[in-house]
């Protein structure tokens, strides 16, 4: 997979792209990520990439000319079928969208700055706008890195043990189960016995049940598409610890 990132600050990507599994994936050719400096496509001697907004108002807006030129310069190495603007007004990034994006042969990520980009870019070249949450950052570089990290985990070979991906939160639509490692007893806190007995069927059932338990407690809105077995496990959880009834307003 290839990902092209358009940014005014390519140096913000350098460190994260060299670290951990992402750096290994790039080194092994499982993923290609290249940053393009939008400022290189400015045509005046000051390399201007922004201007005051029409109609007045605070801040500056990124100009059409360098943005269009930067994206179109990728035509010989990117299909431009998914040109994504990292934007707080975009679709919220979730695991379903990550899995969808991981099926694409390539992506273009546009990192806005200032008050955003000239709307004509969205009208003409942007295919998707994506947000990583309901808050505002100074630019799209960190959201782009979040998207790259999430998508890379879905690519074959990036995570050596695929089972560890399948147990990630949201991979199956709910939160992940609690995890433990050695020692079995620490400060009077004990690892659950079922995890130490080696019964793989019992362990799988325990993990699914505990994943449902934590989802029920913290993100109940995720409990939508459940199997019959999940419903039985939830019924067990309810018998063990009924949810407190909401107080009626007076």
Task: List the catalytic residues.
Answer: 88, 115, 153, 168
HEC string for 34-86: EEEEHHHHCCCCCCCCEECCCCCCCCCEECHHHHHHHHHCCCCCCCCCCEEEE
Question: At 87, which helix (H) or strand (E)?
Answer: strand 83-92
Beta bridge partners of 129: 85
Distance CA 111, CA 138 (A): 10
- Quick check: 107 and 4 in contact, CB under 8 A? yes
Beta pairing, strands 32-37 & 50-51: unpaired
Distance CA 48, CA 63 (A): 8
The full DSSP string for 190-219 is E--HHHHS--HHHHHHHHHHHHHHHHHHH-
């Amino acid at each position: 997979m290839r990902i092209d990132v358009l940014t005014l600050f390519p140096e913000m990507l350098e460190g994260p792209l060299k670290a951990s599994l992402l750096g290994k994936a790039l080194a092994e050719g499982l993923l290609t990520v290249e940053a393009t400096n939008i400022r290189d496509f400015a045509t005046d001697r000051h390399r201007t990439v922004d201007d005051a907004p029409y109609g007045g108002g605070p801040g500056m807006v990124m100009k059409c000319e360098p943005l269009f030129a930067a994206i179109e310069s990728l035509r010989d190495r990117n299909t431009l079928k998914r040109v994504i603007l990292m934007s707080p007004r975009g679709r919220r990034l979730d695991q379903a969208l990550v899995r969808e994006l991981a099926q694409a042969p390539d992506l273009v990520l546009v990192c806005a700055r200032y008050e955003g980009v000239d709307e004509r870019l969205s009208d003409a070249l942007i295919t998707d706008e994506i947000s990583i949450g309901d808050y505002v950052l100074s630019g799209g570089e960190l959201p782009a890195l979040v998207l790259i990290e999430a998508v890379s985990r879905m690519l074959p070979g990036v995570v050596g043990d695929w089972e560890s991906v399948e147990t990630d939160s949201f991979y199956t639509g709910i939160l992940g189960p609690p995890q433990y490692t050695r020692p079995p007893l620490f400060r009077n806190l004990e690892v659950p016995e079922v995890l130490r007995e080696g019964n793989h069927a019992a362990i799988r059932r325990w993990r699914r049940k505990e994943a449902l338990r934590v989802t029920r407690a913290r993100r109940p809105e995720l409990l939508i598409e459940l199997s019959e077995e999940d419903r039985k496990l939830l019924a067990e959880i309810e018998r063990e610890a009924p949810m407190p009834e909401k107080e009626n307003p007076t």
